[in-house]
Amino acid sequence: MAIELISVAFFFMLGWLCLRIFGPAIGYAFIASVSLPIGIAAWVVSCLMLIAVRVPFNPVAGALLAVTIAVSCNLRWGNRPERREWACHIIAIVLIVASAAVLAYFEWTVFNPDMHWTLYMSDNLIDHGFIDDAMRRTQLGADPMYLPILSTIPRWFGGTYFVSFSPLMIICTAALFAVLGIRVGKTSDNQSSPLRFWLPILGAVALVSSGFYAINALQTKTHVAYALHMLAASGALYFASRERSTAWFTVALMFIAPMVVCRLEAGVAALPFLIVALAIQHIPLKIRLLGVAAVALAWGFSYFYLIGSIIYLDGTFDRGFVSKRLLFMGMLSAALGSGLLLAAMANRLGILTVWIERLASWLPGLMIGTLVTLLTAHAVIWPETFFRSIHGIFSTFASPRMHGTGYGFLTLTLLPLSLILRPLIPSAWTVMVPTMSYLAMLILIDFHLEGFPHWGPTGAITRIISHVLPVLLFYAVLRLNAPPAGSTAVTARAAS
Amino acid sequence: MPMRQLDKRNDPTAQLAGSSNRAKIIQSMAIVLLIAATASNIHDLVHPPKDAAISLPQAAYRSGYIAYVEQTEIKEYDFYIYEALRRHFTGARLIGFDAKNTAFGDRSYGGFSSEFVISYDPTITDDEARELRRHEVASRPSNGAIAAVVIAVSAPLEKKTTAIVLRSKDGTRYFVSGGLAPPRYSGIVNGN
């Protein structure tokens, strides 16, 4: 247990180091709520970078690289921590390590059968120091590397798996939900209303008490981490647009980029976040193009690396028939990144700037239009499979057997309440577009990769839909809590 | 229409106040909904339906992993053995110890990179067990139902590429390298 607590404390500190240069703009409460997941992501990505350049795997080497990068950024751009920052983070780290101790003791997680593969990959990395042929042959193209790398810590020191990981992520998600919701309310003209404070808090409680979300999130898999990254990215994109903040924009990209090591389908499923990031006109075009291009190219590289690692063993690659198509589709992000780099160069030379700006602002609409067209085409050409898939989604949230009824009822009442009775909320599209696109893509991915609807208690798609639940509820809270267009307080804050 | 109402309609401050009041009413409704949903959620989790397809895990007091492995079927059971073997016989060829234990031979199973399984149930004598215990080290996952004895890496491992599972009369399993297996198992070790 001790090594787990030390790891949690280290990841928290690392996450704090990674985000604190944005502190004045994004707030210490936000940083404290997401330091743990961003620290884990930074460490995992560092370890993967070392593996990719053939440095034998070692958790300490990955940690050193991540800390070196974070400290260098702080030395270059960071300020001395204020007393309030220290206080906020010391309280947060004490709380999170204490929670980890309790959770590790009670071991309150679901040991999913897929975890065998994850632990196998961890062991392989520890034993060989690199991705060996057996792992390439069986697992590399089928399972993402986030959890295997994280599990190397307990495995290295003789433990079984990272017991407190999933519950800690749920706690961080609830804290993040509350922090984002309260910030949404604070930007309004009615800062003193206690309703604006309690609404997001109760929303967070309703979310984590929802059986469908909690049970799926407690599985020792990456679902809960991915859901947290989606929520953080959505919130950050919203504030980037609303507050015209480059800091929030960068933070959003920091949460979007590691999604690809959490889930293999992220190269496709998380693409709407990049599209939305490109379309936020309040951020300078150059920053948008370069930032999104960097993420897309990193994604593309990771998919190229995966494909390159498994392709020559294709004959025995028997578990990955689902994922192989995803890997090839993920490689398209490299094309997107290259295109954006070209656009950035053209923009720098003053060529086509107006058209690039216009195209970027059209992209979300184009994406939604394309998805609607594709869904309609599927409904017309393969009506039976399509409507069985739709039925699968609704059944998940209608059947008490799946514990989704409470969440389904809540969303079905809150969303119309917020959509019909509340006026238009500026920038709310930055949350709604990725959410709707994710749901649409989920149906299409389910349709094409499985060949049949893969819903039900043990279906992967059933677990995957839990990713979007926090964002969907956050959208409802955002609509209820945020000030309407033209609010004086918001305009003043944005102008400042 | 009375003048006061007309004034109020044209007054932006009054409009803002009205809008704010409406927002408060809607937020109050939402809070009631959230409390009701939370209560319903907690009720469902505490009293799940009898035919619940998924359920919240019980706190396991650090035994959940072992309990899980012990309760599961043959494939996961093999995983337990794999756990015991993995550090000492990486890349080894494993020889199974009973007829059911064929999952290591499934090429989709990620046990060893060059595993080869034959159905076999070797037993050892007390003398052979005593000899093996001279080389034993504590095996991390050896607690629980399976008493595993593994051979120290520092022990002589002439035929390191083959691992063999042996069993004594009291049911204790010995995971040994081919080089340390009793001489009468040399046929198995050599791949017969």
A319 touches chain B (CB under 8 A): yes
| Burial letters B162-175, b for 16+ CB under 10 A, else e | bbbbbbbeeebbbb
Whole-angstrom distance, CA of residue A463 vs CA of residue A222: 10
Which of A116, A119, A414 minimises the CB distance to B30? A414
pLDDT confidence of A413, banded at 50, 70, 90?
confident
User: pLDDT (tens digit, 9 = 90+) per residue, A303-349?
Assistant: 888 888 776 554 444 444 446 677 888 888 888 888 888 888 888 87
A402 touches chain B (CB under 8 A): yes
Beta-carbon neighbour count of residue B131 at 10 Å? 13
User: pLDDT (tens digit, 9 = 90+) per residue, B88-124?
Assistant: 565 566 665 443 433 343 333 334 444 455 556 677 8
Which of A127, A158, A199 minimises the CB distance to B27? A199
A3, A102, A103, A106: best to mutate for the B interface, most B CBs within 10 A = A106
Q: Which residue has the tokens 């080869």?
A: B116
Q: Do B27 and A480 touch (CB under 8 A)?
A: yes
Cβ neighbours of A195 in B, within 8 Å: 24, 27-28, 31
A108 touches chain B (CB under 8 A): yes
Whole-angstrom distance, CA of residue A453 vs CA of residue A321: 16
Whole-angstrom distance, CA of residue A319 vs CA of residue B32: 48
For residue A186, the surrounding DSSP H or E stretch is helix A165-186
B32, B38, B41: best to mutate for the A interface, most A CBs within 10 A = B41
Cβ neighbours of A214 in B, within 8 Å: 45, 56
- The residue among A73, A76, A46 whose CA lies nearest residue A61 is A46
- The residue among A201, A397, A210 whose CA lies nearest residue B40 is A210
What value does the mean pLDDT of chain A take?
84
- The residue among B45, B144, B61, B70 whose CA lies nearest residue A107 is B61
Q: Mean pLDDT across the stretch A253-261?
A: 94
Q: Do B65 and A107 touch (CB under 8 A)?
A: yes
Cβ neighbours of A413 in B, within 8 Å: 33
A414 touches chain B (CB under 8 A): yes
| Burial letters A229-259, b for 16+ CB under 10 A, else e | bbbbbbbbbbbbbbbbbbbbbbbbbbbbbbb
What is the nearest CA distance from B188 to chain A, expressed in angstroms? 24
What is the nearest CA distance from A223 to chain B, expressed in angstroms? 16
Q: Do B34 and A202 touch (CB under 8 A)?
A: yes
Query: What is the pTM (predicted TM-score) of this model?
Result: 0.81
Q: Which residue has the tokens 């496709």?
A: A268
- Of the candidate ranges A11-15, A100-104, B25-29, the one whose mean pLDDT is the lowest: B25-29
Asked if the ipTM is above 0.85, the reply is no
| Burial letters A442-467, b for 16+ CB under 10 A, else e | bbbbbbebbeebbbeeebbbbbbbbb
- Of the candidate ranges A26-40, A352-366, B150-164, the one whose mean pLDDT is the lowest: B150-164
Give A361's contacts (C-beta < 8 A, 6+ positions apart): A279, A281
Type of residue at A355: W
Type of residue at A436: M
A480 touches chain B (CB under 8 A): yes
Q: Do A417 and B90 touch (CB under 8 A)?
A: no
Q: Which residue has the tokens 């469908």?
A: A212
pLDDT at A249: 95
What value does the mean pLDDT of chain B take?
61
Cβ neighbours of A418 in B, within 8 Å: 26, 30
pLDDT confidence of B46, banded at 50, 70, 90?
confident
Size of interface A-B (CB pairs under 8 A): 159
pLDDT confidence of A79, banded at 50, 70, 90?
confident
Separation of CA A214 from chain center:
17
Whole-angstrom distance, CA of residue B121 vs CA of residue A209: 50
In A201-220, the residues whose Cβ lies within 8 Å of chain B are 202-203, 205-206, 209-212, 214-216, 218
Q: Do A409 and B37 touch (CB under 8 A)?
A: yes
Q: Do B27 and A196 touch (CB under 8 A)?
A: yes
Cβ neighbours of A416 in B, within 8 Å: none
pLDDT confidence of A479, banded at 50, 70, 90?
confident
CA distances from A180 to A33, A116, A186, A229, A239 (A): 10, 36, 10, 13, 9
- The residue among A170, A175, A166, A237 whose CA lies nearest residue A33 is A175
